[in-house]
Amino acid sequence: MRNEKKIRKKGIFTVGSTMVIASMLPNAVVLAGTTGSINVNIDTTAERAAISPYIYGGNWEFNNANLSAKRLGGNRFTGYNWENNFSSAGSDWKQSSDTYLLSNGNIPEARWSEPGVVATDFHDKNLSAGESYSIVSLQAAGYVVADGNGTVAESEAAPSARWKEVKFKKNAPFSLTPDTTDNYVYMDEYVNFLVNKYGNASTATGIKGYSLDNEPALWPGTHPRIHPQQPTCAEIVDKNINLAKAVKSVDPYAETYGLVAYGFAEYNNFQSAKDWDSVKGSYNWFLDYYLDSMKKASDAEGKRLIDDLDLHWYPEASGGGKRICFNDDTNCTNIDCNKARLQAPRTLWDPTYTEDSWIGQWCKDKLPLIPKVQNSIQKYNPGTKLSFTEYSYGGDNHITGGIAEADVLGVFGKYGVYFGSVWGGGTYTASGFNIYRNYDGKGSKYGDTKVKAETSDVENSSVYASVDKNDDSKLHIIMINKNYDNPETINVNLSSTKNYKSGKVWTFDQTSANITEKAPIESISGNVFSYTLPALSVAHIVLDTNSSTIMYGDYNKDAKVNALDYGLFKKYLLNSDGKYEVVLDLNLDGKVNAIDFAIMKQYLLGIIDKLPSTPSK
């Protein structure tokens, strides 16, 4: 750290000492009166648990986000026919049956007649990208499209010649070239087709999971030509049980994702299903009834039928009169909505927080969401995993969207979510992923084992911490400043069997979605240090048990700072491709520019006697 009194005494630069001193302070130091102070406690010996690698998933690729898994699903897949690859847009687009999934997936037209090519092309691309976990959606609403001839009139609603009936079990020998001339499409034959091509889910290339259709409580709205009547609680339970049996009979290693509920009203009473009152009994919400029904069916079958309770979560939280996940213009000019987005992840875990929504007003007894769902799981069907295969907090191209995404991924890891796949994507959402999955641009990742991490101010900050399960020598810390206007100084106290001595820092903030390396933390004393985060920023700090001292200004790495480095610095400024060089960041502000060049000149002229972490002259 620079000696402020010495700098003032020397009279460095003539443009004004206050401005110059401010410009030369490290990124982690801000002049008094401009920051808040937050205390963070991290204990690497407490609350240790594995973080599922599958929480970092998406429903498609976007903006170079480093994903670990993907799901093939959504409204289009309720009416998808794997035999001919036609699908139904339903109410999303003119009740159209067409080739959208083929053309939108950029599948060569010569392959359109291949059975299941929408799924196989999806999985092939995932495997090529190093994403070994794919979820494929199966069909349960009753019918899939028979043709790709466009709009289906109301008079042509199923059953009609425009549709094929779905059967969960074929009860006959499977074929790898399904019969497209009959009136049926078989789900177990579909799974068998995929197992034959890739191996079962226990293999490196097999399809790992199957969603039991998509958002069934909304079928009358999204797919009125397939399922015009509101489904009942008993119907969806029966369909989930029998479709799960069909999957397990072909691939006992595959994970089944059940219910696939669109949102809170479906969790609560299955969208006010007409038979809810008759089955409710002592259950607190529909999730209890569903989980208990699956447990009883699994016990009767002698094996688990539903592996994952699959929920979708599009927050109802609002601010400034706008719902956060639907206020997604690039500029996100509604500041109150942006601020609500920053706080909304707390609904997932924080019992002290009440969001501005009908859920927060009328259903607070069922919040925070993740602990309440996990309580239901523990009571009615222990061992069921919790997954969110669709979620979005909006602001995909805005800093508050990136912060919310980073916050949610931290929550998923801390509270034991098994699978997550975001619906959407943009520059800042991608950074929310990459701060965990590729923070240094070289594929480096957040640890696989979470440890206890708490902040004294959950409104203005979030903190998550992890290590690698067999090695505590590196401690990963995600720190988030949610303060909309001001920096926050985070005072970190570590409890650990390890003595951490230094740290490297990568951040993104409101100035750019790009993740950049900042000045390192070079001196940690007694496992205590402080770091200042700018307003609206996310940092990934990697602490190390080894000391790591950088000789700032030594661009040619010859252990000296001299005229050779000065000349190379000049060339860097003239020809820089924008790459950040930490050894040239002489005022530790995360940028290399003319100010740093001037500092080197003053140092070489003897006007200042010290550069950051450079031995005294």
Rounded Cα gap, residues 434 and 427, in angstroms? 10
Q: Which of 283, 301, 180, 199 is nearest to 244 (CA)?
A: 301
Which distant-in-sequence residues (6+ apart) come within 8 Å of 276 by Cβ? 233, 269, 270, 286
Strand order in the sheet with 163-167: 143-145, 163-167, 184-186
Catalytic-labelled residue, pool 83, 131, 189, 215: 215
> Which DSSP helix (H) or strand (E) runs through 371?
helix 369-380
Q: Are 450 and 44 in contact (CB under 8 A)?
A: no
Rounded Cα gap, residues 222 and 93, in angstroms? 10
DSSP for 97-131, written as a single string:
EESHHHHHTT--GGGTTSTTHHHHHHHHHHHHTT-
Q: Are 491 and 532 in contact (CB under 8 A)?
A: no
Angle between helices 187-198 and 117-128 (to 10 degrees): 40
Q: At 249, which amino acid appears?
A: S
DSSP 338: H
Q: Respond yes or no: is residue 215 known to be catalytic.
A: yes
Rounded Cα gap, residues 238 and 236, in angstroms? 5
The two three-digit tokens of residue 352, written as one number:
């002290």
> Which residues are 467's β-sheet partners?
449
Strand order in the sheet with 150-151: 87-88, 96-98, 150-151
Which distant-in-sequence residues (6+ apart) come within 8 Å of 51 by Cβ? 413, 446, 447, 448, 449, 450, 466
For the annotated catalytic residues, the residue numbers are 215
